[in-house]
Amino acid sequence: MAIIRVPRPPRDTNVFAAAWGYTTTICTGLTLTLTIFFRQLLKREKSETVEWPEQPATYGERFKGKHFLTKREDGQVRCTACFLCATACPAQCIHIEAGQHPSNEIEKFPVRFEIDILRCVFCGYCEEACPVDAIRLGPEYAIVDTSEKKWVYTKDYLADRPALQGGIHSIKPENEKHTSIGHEPTAGERKSQAHHGHS
């Protein structure tokens, strides 16, 4: 086995030149920062700073924020406890317990539906996997709390929290699953899809 000896790198004897390079680089950066600061302070340049929470932030229509469960016309959650969302979830943060529904028209319903939001990666796979349009990711972006229990979203919270204003009904008919290929959504469907179910 051959050993290759590499010579030591030459020492930079000109310490003052190296120090001067660091100093000029730092001063250049500070000059640029102060220039932008005073331009915005004197209203010569528009500031991109958002005074949150007084000034709400705006995101695109495709933003995926807090989850919510849609409802049927009778007010019950639309979920049929098929476990497809939990199976598709790469973070395994969805926990569902199924129960027999009293109505013969509906086979199952979720007795327990929980999302551990600290593990969620907001990928939207649950939304894509759901065949009955029961779970969606909405436009809510403020996710803060100090209590550990608040980070587990329960079925009641996902369907009836105050921000949902009484719950959101699905735009799809009860018996329709995924939109068929070639189906052109109506103007009302496009608006509802763009606003994540908010009417």
Contacts of 86 (CB under 8 A, 6+ apart): 92, 94, 95, 96, 126
Is 80:109 a contact under the CB 8 Å cutoff?
Answer: yes
- Note the pTM of the prediction, 2 decimals: 0.63
Instruction: Note the residue count of the chain.
Output: 199
Domains recognised in the chain with CATH numbers: 67-173 (3.30.70.3270)
Q: What is the pLDDT along the chain (199 residues), one digit of tens a residue?
A: 788 888 887 776 777 877 888 899 999 999 999 999 999 989 898 888 888 888 888 888 888 899 999 998 888 899 999 999 999 999 999 999 999 888 777 778 999 999 999 999 999 999 999 999 999 998 888 888 777 778 999 999 999 988 888 888 877 766 555 444 344 555 555 444 444 444 3
CA distances (Å), origin 112, targets 98, 126, 154 = 7, 16, 7
CA distances (Å), origin 56, targets 34, 154, 163 = 27, 26, 15
Tokens of 11: 């020492």
